[in-house]
Amino acid sequence: MGVVLGVKDGKVSPTRALIGTTTTVLVSYWLYILLSAIVIRAAYKRYASPLRKYPGPFLASCSRLWKVLSTASGRTHLDHIELHRKYGPVVRIAPNEVSVASPEAARTLLSAGKRFFKTPFYGVFPPPENPDIFTETREDVHAQKKRVANVPYSMAAMQQLSPFIDDTIELLARKIDEHIAQQHKWVFDLGDYLHYFAFDVLGEVAFSRSFGFLEQGRDVDNAIKTIDKSQTYNGIVGQVPELDHLLRRNPLWQFIPWLSTKNALITRMALEEMGRRQPFNKDTAVLQTGDARQDLMASLILGHLKDPERFGVGDVFAVAHGAIFAGSDSTASTMQSFFYHVLSSPSTYQSILHEIQSAVSSGTIPATGNLTWNQAQTLPYLQACLKEAMRVRPAVGLNITRLVPPEGAELDGHFFPGGTSIAANGWVLHRDKVTFGKDADEWRPERWLESEEEARRMERYMFQFGGGSHLCIGRNLALLEINKVVPRLLRDYRFELAHPGRELKANASFFVVQSGLEVFVRRA
Ligand code: HEM
């Protein structure tokens, strides 16, 4: 005789009755149950955490949604300034994350050897299968790769690449001259042209090839837009990195062509150059670059040939390709901020022109053609303006975030348990009044010239290039090209903002991508 499960002598067993009742309750009240679970989880995150004592937006204390929304707004750098003004030096910006405003805390956070490692945020930046120097979160692997990649980025190596930069400056000057010759009263988008310039320099430096942005005076193949879209994705999804597995790392993603960067101009060119120089050996690496100038890819191939175990073929591609992503918007944004502030302040513009004209008269800098790095260093006011631009509008707008080592750590008098994420935002750090003075919110390049000792002290708390073992690898290149192009433009042209008083449009994806730097231009 068969026994129906849970039914004995015609009676329903208590277990079965319980299952039945539970199912009925779950089905009838699933929405309430779900909402209660969310509320209980959020309350747990908010109150059970050792970070509960730190103030911040309510939403941030119980969910990462605040970070996602702030990043998606493109104004997270400004949000962080407001947050710290409202809540103080340590603000809770996610259940397990605080943002610190103190430059001293940021110095410790970024110091090499303090074992604050990169968070999974960086793992979202492509390519996940072969991380580059920026995206590699394993510190030991990162150190190995950086040892090889550092060589071609030294200032001495960069100076060798000066001819590439000089050619690109000539092209930019030709384009401005063409504009002046055609319709000098028309508005010239200096911001766009500086953007094209930064990209073309990187094409030349990395692959000995120009991307053609300056030549064509436009974003060829929407390459810049594609990069910016990809960075927007990285910035937002990086706040909840697990989501990347459902999105870009999902095999279905490749079927959404407008989201993929695989066919982007820059990636295509990098792949072509890799192909052209394979199989790798000393001759194919350097000689095929045309005039035997050793570009970045050639140096990386030579690094790979010396130590193929530690620096594989994939690393050559990842580092050369990553340089375009890391070095273009960042350098362009820095130059745009510089011109925006200089042209917005008549006294600054007058002083800088006076310095340049005096340097030409005294023969310290040439009256025509390009300047060298050393010549640009003889212009203290220009250097002060550059530092001030990187202080008030650093090119990285998102937080630089690190994990507290397992044993926990103290930062600026606060103890944080192991695994806590600590965020530092350059826009906040560079407005610290104790470090930069009561007028830290203002543009005042003179602050860098008042006392050498003070300037050295402030310099220690500048984070525009990050710090420690993750200090920007491309800073020498960026500074070299900026120091060459900026004084040349100021010497040879006179600019006037087309919309004085109008703010630049700024969208922080990882870098602060800016637009709206429109000027009237004439020859000096
Ligand atoms: C003015 C221009 C630039 C600015 C403001 C800038 C800023 C930064 C910052 C703040 C970091 C640290 C990010 C972090 O730790 O999360 C960084 C890292 C990096 N930058 Fe730059 N950068 C610039 C130009 C460049 C250029 C031209 C290149 C390459 C050609 C480059 C390549 C890199 C790489 C590979 C890293 C990762 C370094 C590491 O983690 O060891 N950057 N940059």
322 Cα nearest atom in ligand 1: 35
Ligand 1 lined by 477 (C-beta under 6 Å): yes
Give the model's confidence band at 260: pLDDT under 50 very low, under 70 low, under 90 confident, else very high. Answer: low
472 is in an annotated binding site: yes
| pLDDT over threshold 70, residue 288 | no
pLDDT tens profile 7-62:
566 677 888 888 888 888 888 888 888 888 888 888 877 887 889 999 999 999 99
- Pairwise CA distance, residues 221 & 208, whole Å: 19
Matching residue, tokens 């006179």: 494
| pLDDT over threshold 60, residue 296 | yes
How far, in Å, is the centroid of ligand 1 from the Cα of 98?
23
pLDDT > 70 fraction of the chain, expressed in percent and rounded: 95
Ligand 1 lined by 121 (C-beta under 6 Å): no
- Pairwise CA distance, residues 292 & 284, whole Å: 10
Ligand 1 lined by 149 (C-beta under 6 Å): no
> Which residues in 174-184 are b (16+ Cβ under 10 Å) and which e?
ebbeebbeeee
Ligand 1 lined by 206 (C-beta under 6 Å): no
Give the model's confidence band at 91: pLDDT under 50 very low, under 70 low, under 90 confident, else very high. Answer: very high
Determine phi and psi for 11, rounding to 5 degrees: -105, 145
Give the model's confidence band at 1: pLDDT under 50 very low, under 70 low, under 90 confident, else very high. Answer: very low
**For residues 362-376, average pLDDT:** 97
Helical H segments across 261-379, by residue range: 265-276, 282-287, 296-306, 313-344, 346-361, 373-376
**For residues 310-334, average pLDDT:** 92
Q: How far is CA 421 from the centre of its chain?
A: 19
**330, 334, 476, best to mutate for ligand 1 pocket (most atoms within 8 Å of CB):** 330
| pLDDT over threshold 50, residue 118 | yes
| pLDDT over threshold 90, residue 256 | no
How far, in Å, is the centroid of ligand 1 from the Cα of 466?
7
Q: What is the pLDDT of residue 3?
A: 47
205 Cα nearest atom in ligand 1: 30
Ligand 1 lined by 131 (C-beta under 6 Å): no
Give the model's confidence band at 208: pLDDT under 50 very low, under 70 low, under 90 confident, else very high. Answer: confident
Higher per-residue pLDDT: 160 or 341: 341
Nearest CA to ligand 1 atom 21: 472
**For residues 226-245, average pLDDT:** 93
Ligand 1 lined by 134 (C-beta under 6 Å): yes
Helical H segments across 400-492, by residue range: 426-429, 433-436, 452-460, 475-492
**For residues 304-325, average pLDDT:** 90
**For residues 404-417, average pLDDT:** 95
Q: How far is CA 278 from the centre of its chain?
A: 31
Per the structure block, which two tokens stand in for 248?
């870009």
What are the start-end ranges of the E strands in 4-110?
A: 7-8, 11-12, 90-94, 97-100
Give the model's confidence band at 258: pLDDT under 50 very low, under 70 low, under 90 confident, else very high. Answer: low
| pLDDT over threshold 80, residue 261 | no
Nearest CA to ligand 1 atom 4: 330
Q: What is the pLDDT of residue 35?
A: 84
Whether 408 contacts 97, CB under 8 Å: no
ipTM: 0.99
Higher per-residue pLDDT: 185 or 193: 193
Ligand 1 lined by 411 (C-beta under 6 Å): no
Ligand 1 lined by 478 (C-beta under 6 Å): yes
Ligand 1 lined by 146 (C-beta under 6 Å): yes
Nearest CA to ligand 1 atom 7: 465
Q: Tell me, what amino acid is at 176?
A: I
- Pairwise CA distance, residues 83 & 353, whole Å: 38
Q: What is the pLDDT of residue 6?
A: 54
Per the structure block, which two tokens stand in for 191?
């911001």
Ligand 1 lined by 396 (C-beta under 6 Å): yes
Give the model's confidence band at 262: pLDDT under 50 very low, under 70 low, under 90 confident, else very high. Answer: low
Nearest CA to ligand 1 atom 43: 472
Ramachandran area for residue 381 (φ above 0: left; ψ -120 to 50: alpha; else beta): alpha
328 Cα nearest atom in ligand 1: 27
Q: What is the pLDDT of residue 375?
A: 98
Give the model's confidence band at 154: pLDDT under 50 very low, under 70 low, under 90 confident, else very high. Answer: confident
Per the structure block, which two tokens stand in for 185?
């009263």
**114, 133, 472, 476, best to mutate for ligand 1 pocket (most atoms within 8 Å of CB):** 472
